Structures are given as structure tokens and as C-alpha cells.
């Protein structure tokens, strides 16, 4: 029995290996490194360490690299998908989670190489495999972006 793995479960920590089991995203489109503060069906805090090696920095923008706002929203959506997948015990071999909508989105501060984004996501509504969330992208406690968004569990059809 792995004592550290048990401690992670008890502390609400979702490490990188578990993230890979909960959502299908992979490099270069996996935008959540790990998550903390997981409370089933209620909330989670995603963590993304932004490095200069991110492929989008080659063109956004040379000389002053900033993370595209749409990717900050995608990182929030992936954080919500991790919360859904773990809470609902989604069988990712047969189901996936699709982004449905986004509302009340604001971009407030640029995210640059070297920043660590913390993404608190809270469930506003959960019903029949559909979740509505509110989330923020924070860097050093300062809001970079915020949004309300929804996602649903979908059966994968081969």
C-alpha cells in the first residue's frame, strides 16, 4: 500500500498521473498539471505552471509572450472536467466530457512565462451529467480571467 497515494486522497490532491487518468487531454493541449482542494461535486483548484517552452509562445507574441485568453478558459474547462470525472467516476474508455457553453468571461491580466496559474472552480449546478461552473484564473492572487461555463458527460461512439 502506498502511503503517499493514500495521503493524497485524504488531502484532496490530484497529482499528474491521476489527471491523465481523469481526462483525455495530452501535450501540447493538457493545460492542468495537478489539482488541489478537491471536494466531490463541489469544487477544485487546478494548477498550471506556465513555461517558456509552451508551444503557443512561439507566435503569441514574439518579444512579449502572453498566454492566449482562450487557452486560459480551456484550462478552466479542463479543471472542471477533472472535478466532474472524479466526482462521477467517469469511465474515460467509454465516456468523455465536452465543453458546452461559456458566459460572463473577462480577461483581466496577462499570463506570462514563469507564472503559476491557480484555477479555483466551483460547481453552480449539477444535474443528469451536466455541470455548470464558475471559475477564475489567478496568478499570485490576481485575477487573470474569470468565467461561467458548462460541460456534459458524453458517450464515445466508435
- State the pLDDT at residue 158: 73
Q: Which of 2-6, 40-44, 106-110, 117-121 has the lowest mean pLDDT?
A: 2-6
pLDDT in tens, 138-147: 999 999 999 9
Phi/psi zone of residue 134: left (φ > 0), alpha (ψ -120 to 50 degrees), beta?
beta
Q: What percent of the chain has pLDDT over 70?
A: 94
Is residue 133 classed as helix, strand or coil in its secondary structure?
strand
Q: What is the mean pLDDT of residues 112-127?
A: 98
Residue 7 confidence class, pLDDT cut points 50, 70, 90: very low
Q: What pTM value is reported for the model?
A: 0.92
Residue with cell string 481526462: 23
Parent domain of 64: 3-155
- State the pLDDT at residue 67: 98
Number of domains in the chain: 1
Which CATH number does the domain housing residue 9 bear? 3.10.129.10
Q: What is the mean pLDDT of residues 3-9?
A: 43
- State the pLDDT at residue 2: 43
pLDDT in tens, 33-60: 999 999 999 999 999 999 999 999 999 9
Q: Is 60 an active-site residue?
A: yes
- Report the alpha-carbon distance of residue 19 to residue 72 in Å, rounded: 17
Tell me the H-state helices in the chain. Answer: 3-11, 16-22, 69-88
- Tell me the CA end-to-end span of the chain in Å, nearest whole number: 36
From the list 25, 60, 95, 109, the catalytic residue is 60
How crowded is residue 72: how many other Cβ atoms within 10 Å of its Cβ?
A: 27
Amino acid at each position: 500500500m502506498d502511503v503517499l497515494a493514500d495521503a493524497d486522497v485524504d488531502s484532496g490532491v490530484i497529482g499528474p498521473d491521476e489527471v491523465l487518468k481523469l481526462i483525455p487531454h495530452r501535450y501540447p493541449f493538457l493545460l492542468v498539471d495537478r489539482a488541489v482542494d478537491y471536494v466531490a461535486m463541489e469544487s477544485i483548484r487546478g494548477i498550471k505552471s506556465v513555461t517558456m517552452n509552451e508551444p503557443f509562445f512561439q507566435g503569441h507574441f514574439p518579444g512579449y509572450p502572453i498566454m492566449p485568453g482562450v487557452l486560459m478558459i480551456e484550462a478552466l474547462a479542463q479543471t472542471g472536467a477533472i472535478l466532474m470525472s472524479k466526482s462521477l467516476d467517469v469511465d474515460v474508455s467509454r465516456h468523455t466530457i465536452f465543453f458546452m457553453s461559456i458566459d460572463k468571461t473577462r480577461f483581466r491580466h496577462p499570463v506570462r512565462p514563469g507564472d503559476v496559474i491557480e484555477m479555483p472552480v466551483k460547481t453552480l449546478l449539477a444535474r443528469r451529467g451536466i455541470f455548470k461552473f464558475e471559475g477564475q484564473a489567478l496568478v499570485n492572487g490576481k485575477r487573470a480571467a474569470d468565467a461561467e461555463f458548462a460541460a456534459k458527460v458524453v458517450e464515445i461512439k466508435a
